[in-house]
Each structure stands twice: as C-alpha cells, then as structure tokens.
Amino acid sequence: MRVVLASERPQIQHLLMDMIEEEPGAIVVGQAENAIKTLVLAENLRPDVAIIDSNLPYSVGLDKLALSRMSGLDIGQMICQKLPGTRVVILNNLDAQVLPEVSLSRDNQAFFSRERLRGTTSFKLQELCREAAPSEAPVFASVEVESWSASQQKDGSGAIGSGAISIAGGLYLIGTLWLAPYGVLLALGGVFMLAFGLFKKMTTRLWRKSR
Amino acid sequence: MTAKQVLKGCVLFFGLSDSELEKVASLAVEKQYEAGTTIFTAGDSAEALFVLQEGRVAIQMTLPETGDLASRRITVDVVTKNEILGWSAILEPYKYTFTAVCIQQTVALLISGNKLRSLLRDNHKIGYEVMEGLAKVIAAGLNDTRQVLIAERLLPAKLT
C-alpha cells in the first residue's frame, strides 16, 4: 500500500509517517506541505491512499491567516475526481488548537478514527482500502492521540505498579500478625497483578516489534 | 444546550432580548450531520439558515471548466461554532450561492427561512437587530478576504 501524505506542519508529517509505517505493507512514497505539491505527487506517483490535512495551504500558508489554509478538502476532492484508484482520507482535527505540539510526542500512541452519528471507530488504512473501491468522495477521519499514562495502562505498566503496591501492603499486614491472613490474600493479589502486568508489557512489546 | 443559549452566542442575534431570542428559538430545529455531508448546494432554494453548535463546515464555490482545467470546487471560507451558514435564506433571491460541506461531524440549529422572514417583517425590533448582526457577519467576512488579498500581495517580497 503506497501512501502520499500532506500537511503543512512538519511535526504532523512525522507523526503520520510513524503511524503509516507501523502498518504492515504500508509505505510513504511522498510528502507534501501544500495543495499544489500534493496534486503533483498524487498524479505522478498514483498512490493507493492520499492522507491530507484539511488545513492545507494552497501554495504557502500566509502567516496567522486561517483563511489561507483551506485547500485540504479542495485538493482531496480533486484527487478523487482525477485519480479514481486513489483512496483519499481528509484528516479534520490537525489544527494546532485541537492537536497541540505537546501531544505529538513519539511516546504517545496515535491512531486514525472515524466519527459517525452512531459512534466513533478507530481504523487501519488497510481496513479502509479493503472496505470497498475508492469512491468519488473523500473519507473524513481524525487522528486521536492517547496520552502516555493511558497507553501505559494498556501496555501493563499500570498493573505492575498496582501489583507492587498490593504486595507491599500485603507484607505490611502480614507483619502486623493479627491481619496476616488478609495480608497474604492482598500480597497474592499483588503477585497476580504484577505477573499480569509483566505479561501484558511483554506481549505489547512483541506486538509492536512485529508491526 | 438549549436553542436559546446557542442563539445567544451567535453574532446575528447579539442584540436580542431573552423574550425575542425565545421567539427565534421556537423556529429552530437541531440537526446532526456526519463529516463529508453536503448540507446544501449552490443554486438550491435557501430553505433554512443554520447556526453551528459544533463542527466545521467548508463553504465552497464551484469554478466552471476552463480550457484544460476541469470544473472544481474551491473552499472560500470555513464556518465554525457560533457562526452562521446560509444567510441567503433571509436575503433575496433566497437561493444558496455556495455549497456547504461538513469537514467534521456537525451539529447545527436550522431556522426555517420563511418563518424567520415573517418574524423579521412582523417584529421590526427583531428585524433591525438581526439585519445589523447580518451586516457585521458580512463585514467580517469581507475583512478576512481583504486580509488574505493583502497578504498575497506581500508574498513575492517575502519569498525573495
């Protein structure tokens, strides 16, 4: 799956590049920072997917003028019209107020998401390409960034921390003698939680490596 | 958020009292649109005025086919929260002059053009305040466009 991506902000380009290259079989073949360059790249490279920031300047972004950064949708529609084999994704939440620089850290987990009236779903580019043949209209999506602490919960670090605290609490209770049975239970719970956290951390690392 | 609260945050209705806002709010219906939805197309009869509660909507103009260039759409403005869309519903000839496409999932209050025009005709105070608000909206849009024109004129000097 060959991908062209377009955003005026270099940080967004890096973020998208990382997200795309995490997908098996996906490769970024071109990057553009304005609408004209995006169209030229798409016409020359005929990518499977073009991912376009909706706040894209036509040629250059005029400083501090939001009105000069409105060409993402236009160029997306034009690519849909000219290149029926290319699936166009318009990213609609990449302005600095919605997705500030601080959230673009490589430690954070980022994923594509589609908001619909019946709910929001995350998706992979490959799923999008498998869904159906590219249509005449672009797909609208957003980039969601999960904070380090949330992804830590997911990769098991949270469970490890809670497990360690439970073990310490359990040992303390055992030390008081008269609460020893509860202490044993608490410590065993902690050991179980710690083992679970370590297992989750290991599998998450293996899964990330395999991607 | 009630329709009255939404209207209170919109420049078009800034000058209205609570009771006047309630009269306008009674004409409004809330509607949601998915990203990518075309709310209206240029040339359509302007049935309603929209006040955006959430989301972003691109206002597009269709350029006709010329020489090698196929017909295409150009975004001339992006409307966001508390802004209005489709003011052709209160100005003759009551036809939308642009196409409106949702860039994000959007929630808007729809105010029937017919009913709003009747209200503005029957209640001169509301009519005056809304028309004054509309003049401000149009003036702000014109000012933004001028800023872009000026910045574009300065561009060659900046690039060299």
Query: Could you tell me if A39 and A142 lie in one domain?
Result: yes
Pick among B81, B103, B145, B153 to test the A interface (most A CBs inside 10 A)? B103
Query: Could you tell me if A171 and A70 lie in one domain?
Result: no
The answer to whether the CB atoms of B36 and A139 lie below 8 A apart is yes
Q: Which residue of A has its CA nearest to B155?
A: A62
d(CA B60, CA B74): 5
Query: Could you tell me if A99 and A81 lie in one domain?
Result: yes
Number of structural domains found in chain A: 2
Q: What is residue A103's predicted lDDT score, i.e. its pLDDT?
A: 57
d(CA B64, CA A50): 25
Q: Which residue of B has its CA nearest to A53?
A: B103
Which one has a higher pLDDT value, A124 or B118?
B118
Average of pLDDT values for B81-101?
95
The H or E element spanning position A22 is: none
Domains of chain B: 3-159 (2.60.120.10)
Q: Please return the burial class of A71, using the count of CB atoms within 10 Å of its CB with bins 0-12, 13-18 and 19+.
A: buried
The per-residue DSSP string of B17-34 comes to: -HHHHHHHHTTEEEEEE-
Per-residue pLDDT of A22-76, as tens digits, reads 898 999 999 999 999 999 999 999 999 999 999 999 988 887 787 888 899 999 9
Question: What residues of B are in contact with residue A90 (Cβ under 8 Å)?
Answer: 103
The H or E element spanning position B110 is: strand B106-112
The CA angle B61-A115-A88, to the nearest 5 degrees, is 55
- Look-up: residue for tokens 């972004």? A61
Q: What is residue A130's predicted lDDT score, i.e. its pLDDT?
A: 76
d(CA A59, CA A8): 10
Per-residue pLDDT of B11-70, as tens digits, reads 999 999 999 999 999 999 999 999 999 999 999 999 999 999 999 999 999 988 888 778
Pick from B75, B104, B159: CB nearest A74: B75
Question: What residues of B are in contact with residue A117 (Cβ under 8 Å)?
Answer: 32, 34, 105
- The identity of residue A20, as a single letter, is I
Pick from A54, A65, A90: CB nearest B147: A65
- Look-up: residue for tokens 């044993």? A184
For residue A141, is pLDDT > 80? yes
Q: How far is B40 from chain A (nearest CA, A)?
A: 16
Q: What is residue B148's predicted lDDT score, i.e. its pLDDT?
A: 86
The answer to whether the CB atoms of B35 and A92 lie below 8 A apart is yes
Query: Could you tell me if A166 and A194 lie in one domain?
Result: yes
Query: Could you tell me if A115 and A195 lie in one domain?
Result: no
Question: What residues of A are in contact with residue B54 (Cβ under 8 Å)?
Answer: none
Q: How far is B112 from chain A (nearest CA, A)?
A: 23
Domain-ending residue, one of A146, A170, A190: A146
If phi > 0 it is left, if psi is from -120 to 50 it is alpha, else beta; for residue A115 that is beta
Radius of gyration, alpha carbons of chain A: 23
d(CA A139, CA A206): 32
Query: Could you tell me if A9 and A86 lie in one domain?
Result: yes
The enclosing domain of A42 has a CATH number of 3.40.50.2300
Domain-ending residue, one of A102, A131, A146: A146
Average of pLDDT values for A110-120?
85
Closest of A137, A142, A49 to residue A95, by C-alpha: A142
Question: What residues of B are in contact with residue A119 (Cβ under 8 Å)?
Answer: none
Domain limits for position A169: 152-210
For residue B123, is pLDDT > 60? yes
For residue B158, is pLDDT > 60? no
Q: What is residue A211's predicted lDDT score, i.e. its pLDDT?
A: 41
The answer to whether the CB atoms of A67 and B32 lie below 8 A apart is no
Query: Could you tell me if A99 and A123 lie in one domain?
Result: yes
Query: Could you tell me if A112 and A175 lie in one domain?
Result: no
